[in-house]
Amino acid sequence: MVTTVTSADTAFTGRAPRWRESGAGPEASLRERLAHSGLDHEARQWVVAALLGDEALAARTRGEQIEVPDPGGPAPAGNRPRRGFLGRVEVQGFRGIGRSSALEFPPGPGLTVIVGRNGSGKSSFAEAIEAALTGRNLRWDAMPTAWRDGWRNLHFDDRTEVSVDLYLSGEEHPTRVTRTWTGDSVRSARGRVVLPSGETVRLGDLGWGEELVRYRPFLSYDELGRTVTGRAAELYDTLTALLGLTELAEAERRLAKACDRLAKQESRPGRDLPYLVEQLNGSADPRARRALEIIGSSSIDLDRLASIAADDGPADPAQEVVLRRLRRLAVPERGLMTDVVNELRGAAMELAMVADSKGARARGLVELLNQALEHHRRHPAERDCPACGTGGALGPDWADRARAQIASLEPVAASASAAYERAEAARDQARFLMAPPPSWLPPESDLGRVWADWAAGAAITDLGELATHIEETGRRLRSTAIAARKAATERLNDPSDGWAALAEQLAAWTDDAREAVKARETLGPAARALEWFAATARALREERLRPLAAHAERVWRRLRQERHIDLEALRLVGRGAQRRVAVDVAVDGADVSGTSPGLLSQGEFQALALSICLPRTLAPGNPFGFLVLDDPVQAMDTETVEGLSAVLAEVGRHRQLIVFTHDTRLPDALRRLGLPAMIRTIQRDAMSNVWIADEASSVGV
């Protein structure tokens, strides 16, 4: 039958420890303090929202009112799991244990020490108890995969199973928890719980889910080492859970994150403004200049900025007509220009060949006589020569003689006339190419200036110069026109000429600026709430941690023996990723908390970790009446082992302690000091058969 402890747990000084387990949890205590805090209504809303969760905080950020619950009502009563003690553990096919082997314990407070050499199966029993109740083992998680794959015993290929008998308060018969492995994975176990009534239930029905994490009744050498030297947040989370402060820590973290988001929201426009100004300065759009003027003023008019940002069309609608014409603009083709240049140079060559020839002179006379005949036809009454003034030179028979002379000269002038006619035709073709620029083309544009140069070539009379002009200026005209058409197409695809993207940036910045104004108004009460919350939560943590810290200090004083090393305080500091447990240590009266890892030996670390972990076993809310310790003695010197034996015996007066060790100094110290304990020896042979080597021996009982 289970032994039920009804007296209060005592400290190592003989006095009752000052554990404080208020009927109301820390949240209720915080709400009560909030009611008398003097905080303004808005800040109080933030505190309550943080306690209610992320959705409430999001609603508060949107400006919604949060209903503040009445702090005066009693805390709802919860069904606490019953306290349990270990009565028996039976293991087969698991780790170092082959055929079925069992350990039995008195199901009540007391110290039981299982002694055996390394490899005797001690840790297999300890890990089997943890695996039965949790389905896992923390030590496995830190081991290599190959090690985890060897969890099944090699000498026993029958059933792999662990059974643990628990005596729950109020029950005369045990509740049996069984885990059976059928697969190859260590995580393939199936568990079942058989109540004293014979009913089979799930392990979760015992109500130990969170408590197995919070109070963790298993402690190995590896875990002790990580307590002080492991990740800073691990011990913090363990202690906050133990003290019932997890939700409070989460609420503080939520409120801090909300304040951080608001602070970032408030500062974002200021961080982004230099980049926006740089982009606006790089734009030629007049709207960019207007936006810069508003931003540079002492008071930024966000409405005007929003209006400018909303205008994301082209700066000059008439420019779009020009762009459409530019996109369709045609200039002379390269082949046509080449043909005209070739014709000009060919005509120039022919002219050069007939220059100063009889034909050229005959052509000149023919042209002169034709002009004279035309003058005579228009002015028949005149007889004097209009060129030399000879009187009567243009008589009645002069016209006949002139016509006869022209007829005789034309055959001589034929080749020269053909050359001159070809030259004039080539010149006409060139002038046709060099049409003036369109009236809609801006003359100050690159294409407008090149086109003006191109059209000016129409005044060139020399055929060679004209050919060179068409060849060189025409090449510039074509390349400039192609670039203008491409640019026009791109600008038509973005009629705003890049302003639309810049307007989008401006609109986003304006929206951020509006949100920053709201965030600035909201951040004030939120920051006041966080300041009050942090201070109050710190006070609650200190208040709830104080008994556990005092208990840890008393344990440490027993363990340290003659060392001048003091455990001065445990403190929960920081939040979020910066959360940690500060362990204040003094050596010879000097505070070395910041450098203690370099000054404490491994054994002293082990003792310090035990000082922190053992007090949680005596916590009033702990439903586990037992604690399984696997090899806590490693690296400790003999004096520390003697202190540990006294501490374990004292804890054993109020809790069931089961200690597995290979170090015979612990049972020797218990015997030498006459401390109450049950000592048993375990052995294992080469085929993984494990047994108790002798009957239980009791000392100091």
Q: Residue 102 in contact with residue 691, Cβ under 8 Å?
A: no
Three-class SS of residue 694? coil
Note whether 585 and 667 are same-domain residues.
yes
Give tens-digit pLDDT for 33-53: 888 888 998 999 999 999 888
Q: Which two tokens stand for residue 458?
A: 């129409």
Instruction: Please tell me the predicted confidence (pLDDT) of residue 199.
Output: 93
Give tens-digit pLDDT for 222-265: 777 666 665 667 777 777 777 778 888 888 899 999 999 999 99
Q: Flag whether 613 is in a domain.
A: yes
Note whether 487 and 527 are same-domain residues.
no
Three-class SS of residue 132? helix
Note whether 227 and 107 are same-domain residues.
yes
**Max mean pLDDT range (29-38, 203-212, 647-656):** 647-656
557-575 CB burial, b ≥16 within 10 A, e <16: bbbbbebebbbebbbbeeb
Work out the pLDDT band at 589, boundaries 50, 70, 90: low
**Secondary structure E strands in 20-168:** 84-92, 101-104, 110-115, 160-168
Side-chain-side CA neighbours of residue 224 (13 Å): 24
Q: Flag whether 20 is in a domain.
A: no
Is pLDDT of 10 > 70?
no
Note whether 224 and 372 are same-domain residues.
no
**Max mean pLDDT range (196-210, 433-447, 492-506, 648-662):** 648-662
What is d(CA 338, CA 350) in angstroms, rounded to the nearest whole number?
A: 19
Q: Which two tokens stand for residue 619?
A: 């916590």
Note whether 557 and 487 are same-domain residues.
no
Q: Flag whether 14 is in a domain.
A: no
Give tens-digit pLDDT for 509-546: 999 999 999 999 999 999 999 999 889 888 888 888 78
Residue 329 CB neighbours (<10 A): 17
Note whether 227 and 334 are same-domain residues.
no
Strand 565-573 relative to strand 580-587, pairing: antiparallel
Alpha helix stretches (DSSP H) within 494-636:
499-560, 596-599, 602-617
**Angle of helix 41-52 relative to helix 246-281, nearest 10 degrees?**
110
Q: What is the DSSP letter of 679?
A: E
| Count of the separate structural domains present in the chain | 2
Residue 676, domain CATH: 3.40.50.300
Is pLDDT of 82 > 60?
yes
Domain that holds residue 366: 324-493
Q: Flag whether 15 is in a domain.
A: no
Note whether 338 and 401 are same-domain residues.
yes
- Helix H or strand E segment including 407: helix 398-433
- Helix, strand, coil fractions of the chain, as percent rounded to 5: 55, 15, 30
Note whether 414 and 479 are same-domain residues.
yes
Q: Which two tokens stand for residue 141?
A: 């998680």
Among 67-81, 275-289, 299-313, name the one with the lowest average pLDDT: 67-81
Note whether 336 and 478 are same-domain residues.
yes
**Max mean pLDDT range (191-195, 557-561, 562-566, 609-613):** 191-195
Note whether 486 and 549 are same-domain residues.
no
Q: Flag whether 251 is in a domain.
A: no
What is d(CA 216, CA 212) in angstroms, rounded to the nearest whole number?
A: 5
Give tens-digit pLDDT for 329-376: 888 888 888 998 998 888 888 777 777 777 778 777 777 877 878 887
Alpha helix stretches (DSSP H) within 106-197:
122-134, 138-141, 145-149
Note whether 141 and 101 are same-domain residues.
yes
Note whether 592 and 671 are same-domain residues.
yes
* Better-predicted residue by pLDDT, 636 or 179: 179
Edge-first strand listing for the sheet containing 189-194:
101-104, 84-92, 160-168, 175-181, 189-194, 200-201
Among 93-97, 320-324, 571-575, 693-697, name the one with the lowest average pLDDT: 693-697
Q: What percent of the chain clears pLDDT 70, i.e. is strictly above it?
A: 83
Q: Flag whether 685 is in a domain.
A: yes
- What number is the average pLDDT over the span 637-660? 89
Q: What is the DSSP letter of 219?
A: E
Instruction: Please tell me the predicted confidence (pLDDT) of residue 22.
Output: 39
Q: Flag whether 314 is in a domain.
A: no
Instruction: Please tell me the predicted confidence (pLDDT) of residue 593.
Output: 55
Q: Of 493, 508, 538, which one is at a domain's C-terminal end?
A: 493
